[in-house]
Structure 1
Amino acid sequence: MTRFSRILITGAALATLIMAAPAMAATPDDQLIIGTSLAQVLSLDPQQATEVKAQEILANTYDRLVHFTGTSGTDGSTIKPQLAESWEIDATGITFLLRDAEFASGNPVTSDDVVFSLVRLLKLELSSASSLKTFGYNADNIESMVSALDSKTVRIELTDDITAESLLYRLAGGFASIVDSVEVQKHVSNGDYGNEWLRTNTAGSGPYVLRRWAPNEIVMLEANEQFWGGPTAMRRVIFRHTPESQAARLMLERGDIDIANALTAADVANFANKDGFEIDRVKTGGFYMLAMNAGKEPLDNPLVREAIAHGIDYQGIAQTILGPYGRARNVPVPEDIEGAIANPDWSLQPEKARQLLAEAGYPEGFSLTLKTISETPRVDMATAIQANLAEIGITVRIQQGNGSDIIASHRARDFELLIPQTSSGEPTALGSIDSFTNNPDNSLEANNAGNNVWRSAWDIPELHELRGAANRERDVAKRLDMVRLLQEMFIEQKPAVLPMFERFEPIVVNAKVQGYSGHPRSLTRLDGVTKSDVD
């Protein structure tokens, strides 16, 4: 966390806060108020929700077998115990020993709950399952791959397509949260594994439970009295929908909220030299990406995609719009990860871009629609890209929408250009590039909506094959060589899933808040957060 000077802000009570009264206010000492965007929070079912802003809610209402903090230092990426007290790895699988823990309902956490949760993940066949499906786990084989050896011992078999290290990192993801199978099965309707109920309720063993969710307004969590980790300092955690950056900045300044994580770059910069606040710039391992639908003309032409890659001012956008949110990078592996290759020369080169369009048969250019979620910083990025591409003869119409609309368009291949954000399955080069090179079946019938590349209809059998071989390779040095080759081939094929900026998450925190550290997957745990007076 980047630390600046501190100040104590004082004021009124939570009731005033929730009613958004204009009076000066300081949040109560036992309550944490986070100003964020809830626009993409569409479900709180952990085996369904993939949206970034939903993950922090899920991380505090559920546990996974294992986790990692993602913090800087020597062990930030080290897998650590959560519900699994310990584990043993052998040639064919991993055996986990569970700690004594209870769900919020009072039901004990058992191996049956772990099996139910992972089977449920694959049987629901939702996009979140892709993180395991890509490695050979599926609805047909999952019941033979995970088993309860006794009430506290779980065994997960390895497929031929995954290493034990990669499986552990995947199990640290929000989709691998362990749900209370006894409670969930009370709410099953028409074979939905309790999905309809879990969309708006929680059944976990994490430090908090859901007390209220009003979409695009508020999510309220209260301390879980059954939490195995003991009492939490924060009795209540509230996520307030504050999509307007300037309003969120003012609320943070006057003490109405403790944390803001949806500010514009300019509003983040406002706190850089302000007493009483800290800026946590979280390295996510993911990217802001330009998705091009290779199933539609003219984007099916690699020359057109290359022209677009040369038609964007990455450095200019990074400096004037993204600021703390990102840095220019066109290879889907963060530049400081072992095995990353140098960036290609895809800088803004209008003349070269126009020449490529002429070679592709479009000397007069054409028109496209760019879809984006209406939130920071993607709207400003879209406007800049619109202006950039106009210089090379491509007229872009921007279509903004809420999270559900734009995400649905992406999953249905119903777009021409679209700006999604990605995350990394694990903090390694192979984990970073995996979702950019994985597409086992590009056919429309495959309906692989959880697959990033499939959504862009980009058929890449050579890349997919090499990516699979790299995941199967147990020798670390050989695997790194394959990952370097994978990046080179990715660039050569003029990707329809174009990484533009390595993605960071700037979070501004009142200095009274102690123990808050953003997680690269937004799985930030809050049970260790406290508040204290500052000088």
Structure 2
Amino acid sequence: MRTKRLFAFVLCVCILLSCVSCAENVKQNETDGTDLPVNTEKPTETAPVDVAPTYQETLTIGINQEPSTVMTPTKGTNAMCQMITRSTHSTLLDLDPETGEITNDLAEEWSVSPDGTEYTFKIHEGVLFSNGEECTAEDVKFTLEQRVPNGALAPLVTSIASVEVVDKYTVKITLTGPLQDMKYTLAGPPCSIVCKSAVEAEGDEGEKYGTGAFAIAEYVQGEYVMLQRNEDYFGEKPNTKNLKFAIYLEDSTRQLALETGEIDVCYSPANADLVYIQSNDNLKLISVSGVNIYYIGFNTQAEPFSNEKVRQAIACCVNKEDAITVAFDGYAEVATNVMAPAIPLYQDVSVWELDVDKAKVLMKEAGYEGGFKATVWVDRADEEQMAVLFKENLKEIGIDLEVIRLEATTLKAKWKDDDYQMCIQKFGNTGGPDISFSYVFASTASANRSRINDPYVDQTIAAAAVEKDLDKRSDIYRELNEYITTTAYWVPICIPQVFAAIKTGLEGAKYSGNTSHDFTYACLPES
């Protein structure tokens, strides 16, 4: 009984002490808080979750020309074909269209012998063509020996003496002599490596299988070329699943398609639309320095244009500034020589200025004071506009010029005709300085529209091509440039700026001065 009473007493005391303690706590909590501990730790922040951006599945590029040789890239001469080939095929080396830097592509590593005559390439192992076949050294040998010599770059590979398969993934290219710009040639889209077995089985169209980031899925002539991402590509995968190159021959139709969202890129918009594009917040205008030189060419193997003074008179008489205004709305620069400023080793060479009085003196010295009749061939609207202007210019020195516009295919077949006298054409270098000369001025060059057969030109081109010392090589090109410009084998007219109109937000494309842009990694984030 006592034990129960003692327990009850202890319990009451404990309850009483507990109440007192609670009262003290309440009193302390009612103070101004100056004695309370301060929590200096920052609240824990929840790490943001990285959400991968999503991109439009199909990117559509509106182009202005039929990519007629897109299935046979080694024969591709126009910018449309080369632009598509950049995405579907690989070359041993790659030329960055914006920086001009040579980098590896299909080649994992490469070297050049001390004398500059042997190039050894080790290609990536396990690379697949879009038909599933593995790419090996045999395909490289086949391409460089059997396909490229019959293609667009044929004049530039005549110096290849042999291609040897060292092992399954290594090739050795031996040249007839050192050639400093061979790396630029091997980086050109017409040097794309093609599948030997496919070409042997399917003929020319077997070239369509490449090892690029995309594969040709469909080509509907006159409408579009559809590319599909190559999931087996050996390099970095693009964000875009499909690239569609839609054909819009008319500038106005192509521009309207951009405005309505039918396409995402408008290739080469009309000059008349440039101001509007710049003012539209939904569009962005891309502008790069061009490398395409418009020029007057002559049949220098027949009178009157075999006469140097006649050609020089024309060089003094045509108004290039007016030509730029008429044909390009002012969006071009005057060309004073046969090289574009964007080409490596370019030097400013200027010989002829507008001087009609001097032109008349030269015509008299040439024995043509009374003038003569002549024809000029063109195959493009801008060339025709310039020709019509020059027709008026040349009346001042007695030349009665007839402007004849031909279809491109017709003109291509007529270059060797005896009735050829003058032309207005354009030429765009896609690589090193050698191409600016060997491709158009060498006596054996297929694009030698002036029919030049000058031993000094041939010898000097050859000397510059093998010269290792950069300063000496630059001096040789300056002398050659001055000689060709002075003799007026060409009359350079202008170098237009290059434009593209894109949707705001489009990223990853690389834009080229020769207009064969690279859209391999172009993508448009979804809004």
TM-score by length of 2: 0.82
Q: Which amino acid aligns with 1:476?
A: L
1:111 Cα deviation after fit? 0.6
Bigger radius of gyration: 2
Q: 1:239 to 1:372 in 2, by over 3 A?
A: farther
Q: 1:234 to 1:494 in 2, by over 3 A?
A: same
Deviates more, 1:335-344 or 1:388-397: 335-344
Q: 1:425 to 1:248 in 2, by over 3 A?
A: closer
Aligned partners of 1:216 and 1:367: how far apart in 2? Answer: 39
Aligned partners of 1:402 and 1:222: how far apart in 2? Answer: 33
Matched, 1:96 2:121: yes
Matched, 1:524 2:524: no
Q: In the alignment, what sits opposite 1:438?
A: 442
Q: 1:84 to 1:42 in 2, by over 3 A?
A: closer
8 A contact 1:292–1:418 mirrored in 2: yes
Aligned partners of 2:378 and 2:339: how far apart in 1? Answer: 23
Q: In the alignment, what sits opposite 1:176?
A: 191
Q: In the alignment, what sits opposite 1:34?
A: 61
Cα-to-partner distance string for 1:337-393 (whole Å, 9 max, x where unaligned):
564443434233223223322332323322222222234x33333333333323433
1:277 Cα deviation after fit? 2.1
1:84 Cα deviation after fit? 0.6
Q: In the alignment, what sits opposite 1:264?
A: 270
Cα-to-partner distance string for 1:87-116 (whole Å, 9 max, x where unaligned):
122223121111131100111111111000
Q: In the alignment, what sits opposite 1:451?
A: 446
8 A contact 2:327–2:383 mirrored in 1: no
Sequence identity percentage: 24
Aligned partners of 1:451 and 1:93: how far apart in 2? Answer: 26
Q: In the alignment, what sits opposite 1:275?
A: 281
Aligned partners of 2:96 and 2:346: how far apart in 1? Answer: 22
Cα-to-partner distance string for 1:258-315 (whole Å, 9 max, x where unaligned):
1122333222343233322222223343311222111332111111111111121112
1:106 match: secondary structure: coil
Aligned partners of 1:87 and 1:493: how far apart in 2? Answer: 41
Q: Which amino acid aligns with 1:416?
A: Q
Matched, 1:290 2:296: yes
1:328 Cα deviation after fit? 0.7
Aligned partners of 2:268 and 2:418: how far apart in 1? Answer: 28
Aligned partners of 1:161 and 1:231: how far apart in 2? Answer: 36
Q: In the alignment, what sits opposite 1:505?
A: 498
8 A contact 1:283–1:505 mirrored in 2: yes
Q: Which amino acid aligns with 2:420?
A: F
1:477 Cα deviation after fit? 1.6
2:425 match: secondary structure: coil
Q: 1:490 to 1:345 in 2, by over 3 A?
A: closer
| 1:9-158 mapped onto 2 (5 Å cutoff) | 29-39=56-66, 41-42=68-69, 44-71=71-98, 76-91=99-114, 92-100=117-125, 101-124=127-150, 126-133=151-158, 136-137=159-160, 141=161, 145-158=162-175
Q: 1:479 to 1:506 in 2, by over 3 A?
A: same
Q: Which amino acid aligns with 1:417?
A: M
| 1:25-424 mapped onto 2 (5 Å cutoff) | 29-39=56-66, 41-42=68-69, 44-71=71-98, 76-91=99-114, 92-100=117-125, 101-124=127-150, 126-133=151-158, 136-137=159-160, 141=161, 145-163=162-180, 166-187=181-202, 194-195=203-204, 197-198=205-206, 202-229=208-235, 231-323=237-329, 326-335=332-341, 339-375=345-381, 377-410=382-415, 415-424=420-429
8 A contact 1:55–1:522 mirrored in 2: no
Q: Which amino acid aligns with 1:116?
A: F
1:397 match: secondary structure: strand
1:320 Cα deviation after fit? 4.5
Q: Which amino acid aligns with 1:83?
A: L
Q: Number of matched residues?
A: 470
Q: Which amino acid aligns with 1:171?
A: L
1:469 Cα deviation after fit? 0.9
8 A contact 2:137–2:168 mirrored in 1: yes
TM-score by length of 1: 0.81
Aligned partners of 1:129 and 1:285: how far apart in 2? Answer: 21
Q: 1:122 to 1:242 in 2, by over 3 A?
A: closer
8 A contact 1:184–1:203 mirrored in 2: no
1:239 match: secondary structure: strand
The runs of 5 or more residues in structure 1 that have no matched partner are: 1-27, 188-193, 441-449
8 A contact 2:349–2:481 mirrored in 1: no
Aligned partners of 1:70 and 1:400: how far apart in 2? Answer: 32
Q: In the alignment, what sits opposite 1:443?
A: none
Cα-to-partner distance string for 1:113-145 (whole Å, 9 max, x where unaligned):
100000123553x45311222xx23xxx4xxx2
Q: 1:218 to 1:533 in 2, by over 3 A?
A: closer
2:75 match: secondary structure: coil
Aligned partners of 1:498 and 1:41: how far apart in 2? Answer: 30
Q: 1:412 to 1:63 in 2, by over 3 A?
A: farther
Q: 1:249 to 1:420 in 2, by over 3 A?
A: same
Aligned partners of 2:97 and 2:152: how far apart in 1? Answer: 24
Q: 1:345 to 1:491 in 2, by over 3 A?
A: closer
8 A contact 1:317–1:381 mirrored in 2: yes
Cα-to-partner distance string for 1:223-258 (whole Å, 9 max, x where unaligned):
223322354332222222222222222222222221
Q: Which amino acid aligns with 1:32?
A: L
Q: 1:242 to 1:252 in 2, by over 3 A?
A: same
8 A contact 1:87–1:96 mirrored in 2: yes
What RMSD in Å do the two structures reach over aligned CA positions?
2.5
2:318 match: secondary structure: coil
1:522 Cα deviation after fit? 4.4
1:472 Cα deviation after fit? 1.6
Q: Which amino acid aligns with 2:198?
A: E
1:426 match: secondary structure: coil
8 A contact 2:118–2:172 mirrored in 1: yes
Q: 1:61 to 1:502 in 2, by over 3 A?
A: same
Aligned partners of 2:261 and 2:392: how far apart in 1? Answer: 38
Q: In the alignment, what sits opposite 1:484?
A: 478
Q: 1:32 to 1:338 in 2, by over 3 A?
A: closer
Q: 1:415 to 1:208 in 2, by over 3 A?
A: farther
Aligned partners of 1:439 and 1:110: how far apart in 2? Answer: 36
8 A contact 1:161–1:472 mirrored in 2: yes
Q: In the alignment, what sits opposite 1:446?
A: none
8 A contact 1:290–1:418 mirrored in 2: yes
Aligned partners of 1:80 and 1:323: how far apart in 2? Answer: 37
Q: Which amino acid aligns with 2:140?
A: V
Runs (4+) of structure 1 exceeding 4 A deviation are 336-339, 411-414
